[in-house]
Amino acid sequence: MRKFWTEAENELIRLHYPDNDSKSIVHLFENRKVGNIQQHAAKIGVKKSESFFKSPASGRISKDNDIGISTRFNKQWPGWNKGKKQVDYMSAENIEKIKVTQFKKGRDPHNTVAVGHERVTVDGYVEVKVRHAKDGTGKNKNFELKHRLIYIEYHGEIPENAKVYFIDGDKRNFEPENLGIETHAENLLKNTMCDTSIVKRFLGIKEPQLVDKIIKENPELIDLKRNVIKLNQKIKKKDVRKIK
């Protein structure tokens, strides 16, 4: 026969359930099981408190308690098989069994791509795999930026202090005539003076949608701020020359 929950029982749950282990309060309820109490607490919106979850009574490992501290791995402890050879802790039979699943030296992983494969970086630039070097360091330089490769092919080597850029701003337009070079200082100045940078850095607006709106609706404001920045830079240069 179904037994309905009384308001007195509800009050007991509200009072004791949040800060105590469910098993420890089951004796307060006649003919109720731990599962019944937990289900009904959830039904009436009563949850365990944050302090309970941090306490040892919750059984949860936390910075605020020492549950399981005796079995935790200490950072200073060496691995159980450190300095040992495989034959020291495995039988010859098991060693033979696992050989079929071991990664063979010199073997390429399943996601290896061929030379010539192209990929797109998080910044939207295209990279090309130009070599398949395996030096074991995990820092192989197998990919090069596609626009740099094309520039070198058609225009020659890139000066050490320069970088290749897209003249029309389109990172997918690899026509040789669309590729130019600029010094790092010129690139920094150009990026500093672009519309987006003016709005974000000098007007203090970060929200992408609002940035786009200001660029579209207030180009004269951005130009005014850009001219002020350029003027201040000229004044600083003159002051530096006077000091020298």
Instruction: Specify whether 143 is located in the same domain as 177.
Output: yes
Alpha carbon distance, N-terminus to C-terminus of the chain:
98
Domain end: 135, 151, 183, which one? 183
Structural domain contains residue 76: no
Structural domain contains residue 145: yes
Instruction: Specify whether 199 is located in the same domain as 168.
Output: no
Question: How far apart are the C-alpha atoms of 244 and 240, rounded to whole Å?
Answer: 6
Structural domain contains residue 189: no
Segment 79-88, tens digit of pLDDT: 888 889 999 9
Structural domain contains residue 162: yes
Structural domain contains residue 97: no
Structural domain contains residue 39: yes
Structural domain contains residue 41: yes
Structural domain contains residue 101: no
Segment 5-57, tens digit of pLDDT: 999 999 999 999 999 999 999 999 988 999 999 999 999 999 999 889 888 88
Is the predicted pLDDT of residue 177 greater than 80, yes or no? yes
Across the chain, mean pLDDT equals: 87
DSSP secondary structure, the chain, as one string: ---PPPHHHHHHHHHHTTTS-HHHHGGGSTT--HHHHHHHHHHTT----HHHHHSGGG----TTS-TTGGGSPPTTSPPTTTT--HHHHS-HHHHHHHGGGSPPTTPPPTT---TT-EEE-TTS-EEEE------SSS----EEEHHHHHHHHHH-PPPTTEEEEETTS-TT---GGGEEEEEHHHHHHHHHHSHHHIIIIIS----HHHHHHHHHH-HHHHHHHHHHHHHHHHHHHHHHHHH-
Domain end: 61, 78, 101, which one? 61
Instruction: Specify whether 124 is located in the same domain as 170.
Output: yes
How many C-beta atoms surround the C-beta of residue 94 within 10 A?
11
Is the predicted pLDDT of residue 64 greater than 80, yes or no? no
What value does the mean pLDDT take over residues 135-161?
Answer: 87
Per-residue pLDDT band for 141 (boundaries 50, 70, 90) equals confident
Is the predicted pLDDT of residue 66 greater than 80, yes or no? no
User: What is the count of structural domains for the chain?
Assistant: 3
Segment 95-139, tens digit of pLDDT: 999 988 888 877 888 888 999 999 999 989 999 999 988 765 656
CATH number of the domain where residue 156 is located:
3.90.75.20
> Higher-confidence residue: 77 or 1?
77
Write down the pLDDT at residue 176.
96
> Higher-confidence residue: 90 or 230?
90
Is the predicted pLDDT of residue 146 greater than 90, yes or no? yes
Instruction: Specify whether 179 is located in the same domain as 228.
Output: no
Instruction: Specify whether 174 is located in the same domain as 202.
Output: no
Instruction: Specify whether 225 is located in the same domain as 175.
Output: no
Per-residue pLDDT band for 228 (boundaries 50, 70, 90) equals confident
Q: Which domain holds residue 198?
A: 194-243
